[in-house]
Structure 1
Amino acid sequence: MSLAYKTRRRLAMLILLVGMPAYIVVAVTIVNMLDRPSIPVELLIYVGLGFLWALPFKFIFKGVGQADPDAPQDPADQD
């Protein structure tokens, strides 16, 4: 699946502004249902869930922080 750079940027922003807070609420709710595990176990759960949320979106975030590869090149920028 190949998405345009601008589409990936917009999806990444949507995921970070809407999806991540929703995921945090779900993660905290799940951990609260476990009758407060010990601090190291709770930390491992949060670290695992923090890593897990990014896996499905890896292809969207890849290269988003770089310059737009589809943008026209400015001849003055090339050396």
Structure 2
Amino acid sequence: MGESKKPRLSYKARRRWSLVILLIGLPLYIVAVITLLNALGRPPIWLELVVYAISGVLWALPFKFIFIGVGQADPEAEEDK
């Protein structure tokens, strides 16, 4: 049937969103995880390490599509020859 193409973010938009996520969202996420873990009572150090390791990976999964290719040159820019 008909293919519906999702509107994709431009390279510049992805770069801007990645900066917002890294500079604002990630520190807020870290504070939230630490606050939640301490509110539940301080677990044993090994469990705390496991929770931090898992939450350290989980934050990036929803934003995977934003970070793909951000560190490379702009594919939409024209190269000077």
Name the TM-score, length of structure 2 as normaliser. Answer: 0.89
Q: Which residue of 2 aligns with 1:63?
A: 69
Identity %: 57
Report the AA paired with residue 15 of structure 1: I
Alpha-carbon shift at residue 33 of structure 1 (Å): 1.6
Ranges in structure 2 where 5+ consecutive residues have no aligned partner = 1-5
2-structure distance, mates of 1:34, 1:45: 13
CA RMSD of aligned residues (A): 0.8
2:53 matched to 1:53?
Answer: no
Between the two proteins, the alignment pairs up a number of residues equal to 75
Q: How does 1:19-58 map to 2 (within 5 A)?
A: 19-58=25-64
Ranges in structure 1 where 5+ consecutive residues have no aligned partner = none
2-structure distance, mates of 1:48, 1:24: 12
Three-state SS of the structure 1 residue aligned to 2:69 is: coil
Name the TM-score, length of structure 1 as normaliser. Answer: 0.91
TM superposition outliers: structure 1 runs of 4+ over 6 Å: none
